Amino acid sequence: MGVSFDKADGSLWLNFDVQPKADATSDADRADKLKDPGFGRVFTDHMAIVRYSAGKGWHSARVESRANFPLDPATAVLHYAQEIFEGLKAYRREDGGVNLFRPDANARRFRNSADRMAMAPVPEAVFIEAVEQLVQIDRAWIPGGEGSLYIRPFMIANEVFLGVKPSSEYIFAVIASPVGSYFKGGPAPVSIWVSENYTRAAVGGTGAVKCGGNYAASLRAQAEAIERGCDQVVFLDPNEHRNVEELGGMNVFFVFEDGSLSTPPLGTILPGITRDSIIALAREAGKTVREEAYSIDQWRADAASGKLKEAFACGTAAVISPIGKVCSAKGDFTINGGAAGDVAMGLRKKLVDIQYGRAADTHNWIKKVL
């Protein structure tokens, strides 16, 4: 049973009861699964799990064999989607150690998501400890080279009750999946479909937090993108369907001929940790970065005039992926002749070099786990 106590600074701490899986995957089977993992279909042997009950708080912290959750058919999350999640990665360094990238930022965003969804906040120290415990026990699953271990913390409302109200019970869990590239073809330029009928988030809604419902609501538009032969959907603002917001699972940046960059402002979009890191890296390199609205019409006009040099998508799963082509009901256009641009690829290299420990971590973004 996980033991909880308060640390000297008042933050809640939980001791995880670690129960290694008895019949863990063999080295040969794991090596086979790590050959070409793709994204999100291969999973490690363990999970971290912590439970919450009103009156008792967070308790029963465990690291155990990855297994099904038994859920009563009336469990709240199955009906009213009170669910949040996070995404971060562990990277294998050349010296054999392991880096996490900005786990504190994910822990903070998870707390904000919990707040918006009226869920019990997971103490940031507990979030990070759960992630570290899982990475340690499943470290053999971290691919070498440019692969990484995608870590998925999530929380579900676990009360068995059909009334519409915040649940009095939650399960916080962390699972992990060794991954290669999110897009087939790695950082090759992607094509995106402009969704003019569906919006992702409204002012006052849940666009700025990472709840499963946002993704459920995006799937119809994403399916439309695939039907049009595109990789991803890009959403416009909910009021006028004019300004670019973000992709289904990524933020977006624009690069102009004067060397400056712009990205849509925060509000109804997810405050991406990659977005924030790119802003810092670009400014550090002397570039101007504006957080300002940019309309789809301006995007089309700037691509045609040559004022816009590059566009790219970014996120934990996608890293930095150049956007080569934009398709919409009003016609298609290409960016940079459909090729990956130097600014996108330069920023990508800077970012991944820090993540893999090949470049100095001057921002204190890296947490060494091993």
Q: Which listed option, ligand COI, ligand PLP, none, makes contact with residue 222 (CB within 5 to 8 Å by class)?
A: none
65-94 binders of ligand COI (CB under 6 A): 87
Measured from the CB atom, the residue of 86 and 310 that comes closer to ligand COI is: 86
Q: Which listed option, ligand COI, ligand PLP, none, makes contact with residue 272 (CB within 5 to 8 Å by class)?
A: ligand PLP
Binding mask 74-93 for ligand PLP (x = CB under 6 A): -------------x------
Q: Quick one: which segment of 43-51, 141-149, 195-203, 310-318 binds ligand COI (CB under 6 A)?
A: 310-318
Among 274, 321, 336, 355, binds ligand PLP (CB under 6 A): 274
Supply the minimum distance, in Å, between the C-beta of residue 87 and ligand COI: 2
Q: Are 20 and 66 within 8 A, CB to CB?
A: no
The residue whose Cβ lies closest to ligand COI is: 87
Q: Quick one: which segment of 156-164, 177-185, 221-229, 246-254 binds ligand PLP (CB under 6 A)?
A: 246-254
**CA 261 to CA 324: how far, in whole Å?**
17
Q: Does the protein bind ligand PLP through residue 153 (CB under 6 A)? A: no
Q: Which listed option, ligand COI, ligand PLP, none, makes contact with residue 246 (CB within 5 to 8 Å by class)?
A: ligand PLP
Q: Does the protein bind ligand COI through residue 317 (CB under 6 A)? A: yes
Among 158, 214, 222, 316, binds ligand COI (CB under 6 A): 316
DSSP letter, residue 243: B
Structure tokens belonging to residue 250 = 């990524």
Q: Quick one: which segment of 93-101, 249-257, 294-302, 343-351 binds ligand PLP (CB under 6 A)?
A: 249-257
**CA 326 to CA 228: how far, in whole Å?**
11
Give the CA angle between residues 209, 214, 299 to the nearest 5°.
Answer: 90
Closest CA to 323 of 231, 236, 241: 231
Closest CA to 168 of 119, 117, 123: 119
Measured from the CB atom, the residue of 202 and 219 that comes closer to ligand COI is: 219
Measured from the CB atom, the residue of 279 and 317 that comes closer to ligand COI is: 317
What phi-psi label fits residue 43: left (phi over 0), alpha (psi between -120 and 50 degrees) or beta? Answer: beta
DSSP letter, residue 168: S
Binding mask 44-63 for ligand COI (x = CB under 6 A): --------------------
Reported as half-sphere exposure (CB side, CA atoms, 13 A), residue 273 has a value of 22
Measured from the CB atom, the residue of 275 and 325 that comes closer to ligand PLP is: 275
228-287 binders of ligand COI (CB under 6 A): 249
Supply the minimum distance, in Å, between the C-beta of residue 296 and ligand PLP: 18
Q: Are 93 and 101 within 8 A, CB to CB?
A: no
Cα–Cα distances (Å) from 344 to 223, 240, 312, 320, 365, in that order, read: 27, 29, 6, 7, 20
Q: Quick one: which segment of 116-124, 131-139, 224-232, 315-323 binds ligand COI (CB under 6 A)?
A: 315-323
Burial class (CB in 10 A: 0-12, 13-18, 19+), 80: middle
What DSSP string runs through 212-253?
A: HHHHHHHHHHHHHHHHTT-SEEEEE-TTTS-BEEEESS-EEE
Neighbours of 113 (CB within 10 A): 23
Q: Which listed option, ligand PLP, ligand COI, none, makes contact with residue 273 (CB within 5 to 8 Å by class)?
A: ligand PLP
Q: Which residues bind ligand PLP (CB under 6 A)?
A: 87, 246, 249-251, 270, 272-275, 315-316
Point out which residues bind ligand COI (CB under 6 A): 87, 249, 315-317
